[in-house]
């Protein structure tokens, strides 16, 4: 494998990484005394997943000069992430969050402490040293532009620059309505950003909210009309839906989900799906193979505690695919 430090990253993700404290026991967070510290953040979940599969991944963000910022930097470095674009902010703290231990695979309640965080001050200036000519792929989500106007401008800038250099771009809306001033602002901003992406990856409910369309094919057509080459809609346990022209002709199909014996933690399932899908397309696989891999990796993510602990390395992925011939 190439020297990741001597060459510029080929894949770039960006956003806010946070320290996450996960409850050891079930129950309301106010009654929990013991927590485990982990790493959280949708964008860096994807970065870690792609790095584990052997891609040279760069991460752009801001962290504080506090212990949580150092924890995040060490955790990302341990995963092989290239942190040359990770900036230290001496004026603002690192964001953190608390997550409850949910019962029976339910979505856990989460409390965020991120207002005024270092990452919320991300701006176009933070991209000044990026070598866009080396990029083959950029992954963006709808979380970063919700942090602040300057972070939104950075998102738009990165997507425009990556496209100008010929890199492929994936965009996961990853809605966080509480971070937006209004639903209309969220919808208008994210739909405009989606027009800069090649692969748009909404969940079904997200796509319905953003496009005001009900069916997967109508949601996909709304983004194809905006310039996307492919739209992949996550359907939860039912699998995923594809509509696009990555093979040179318009295709539409649904790939069934992978059965899971026990759902432990639903957070990170969509990020796992993105890791599987993006890695497969970058590996040169077909759209159907990419959706199969996305479903397979997403299924691994929900079977462990933590947002990215279940994401496989390349050897584990090969074993999983060997045991699931359809994938």
pLDDT for position 1: 35
**Angstrom distance (rounded) from CA 25 to CA 132:** 45
* pLDDT per residue as tens digits for the range 133-190: 999 999 999 999 999 999 999 999 999 999 999 999 999 999 999 899 999 999 999 9
Question: Of the listed 198, 271, 283, 307, which one is catalytic?
Answer: 271
Q: Does the annotation count 271 as an active-site position?
A: yes
**Angstrom distance (rounded) from CA 274 to CA 271:** 5
Closest CA to 290 of 251, 255, 249: 255
Paired sense of beta strands 240-244 and 230-234, if any: antiparallel
Contact status, residue 228 vs residue 211, Cβ threshold 8 Å? no
pLDDT for position 195: 97
- Kindly state the tokens that stand for 274: 């993105």
* 327 residues of the chain, pLDDT tens digit each: 344 556 899 999 999 999 999 898 988 899 999 999 989 899 999 999 999 999 999 999 999 999 999 999 999 999 999 999 999 999 999 999 998 887 766 778 888 888 999 999 999 999 999 999 999 999 999 999 999 999 999 999 999 999 999 999 999 999 999 899 999 999 999 999 999 999 999 999 999 999 999 999 999 999 999 999 999 999 988 999 999 999 999 999 999 987 776 665 556 688 999 999 999 999 999 999 999 999 999 888 665 665 567 789 999 999 988 887 665
| CA distances, 304 to each of 9, 79, 159, 262 (Å) | 29, 18, 32, 9
């Amino acid at each position: 494998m190439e020297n990741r430090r001597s060459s510029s990253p080929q894949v770039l993700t960006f956003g806010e990484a946070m320290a996450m404290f996960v409850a050891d026991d079930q129950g309301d967070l106010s009654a929990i005394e013991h927590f485990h510290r982990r790493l959280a953040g949708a964008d860096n979940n994807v970065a870690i997943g792609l790095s584990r599969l052997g891609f040279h991944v760069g991460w752009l963000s801001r962290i504080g000069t506090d212990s949580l910022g150092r924890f995040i930097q060490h955790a990302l470095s341990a995963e092989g992430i290239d942190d040359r674009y990770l900036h230290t902010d001496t004026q603002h703290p690192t964001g953190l969050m608390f997550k409850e231990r949910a019962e029976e695979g339910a979505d856990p309640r989460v409390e965020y402490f991120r207002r005024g965080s270092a990452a919320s001050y991300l701006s176009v200036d933070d991209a000044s040293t990026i070598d866009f000519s080396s990029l083959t792929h950029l992954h963006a989500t709808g979380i970063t532009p919700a942090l602040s106007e300057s972070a939104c401008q950075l998102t738009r800038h990165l997507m425009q620059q990556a496209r100008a250099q010929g890199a492929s771009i994936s965009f996961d809306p990853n809605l966080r309505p509480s971070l937006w001033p209004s639903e209309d602002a969220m919808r208008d901003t994210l739909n405009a950003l989606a027009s800069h992406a090649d692969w748009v990856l909404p969940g079904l409910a997200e796509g319905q909210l953003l496009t005001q369309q009900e069916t997967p094919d109508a949601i996909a057509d709304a983004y194809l009309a905006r310039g996307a080459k492919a739209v992949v809609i996550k359907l939860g346990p039912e699998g995923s839906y594809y509509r696009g022209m990555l093979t040179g002709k318009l295709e539409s199909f649904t790939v069934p989900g992978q059965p899971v014996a026990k759902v432990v933690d639903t957070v990170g399932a969509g990020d796992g799906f993105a890791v599987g899908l993006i890695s497969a397309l970058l590996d040169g696989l077909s759209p159907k193979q990419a959706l199969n891999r996305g479903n397979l990796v997403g299924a691994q993510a929900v079977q462990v505690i933590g947002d990215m602990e279940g994401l496989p390395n390349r050897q584990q992925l090969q074993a999983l695919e060997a045991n699931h011939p359809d994938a």
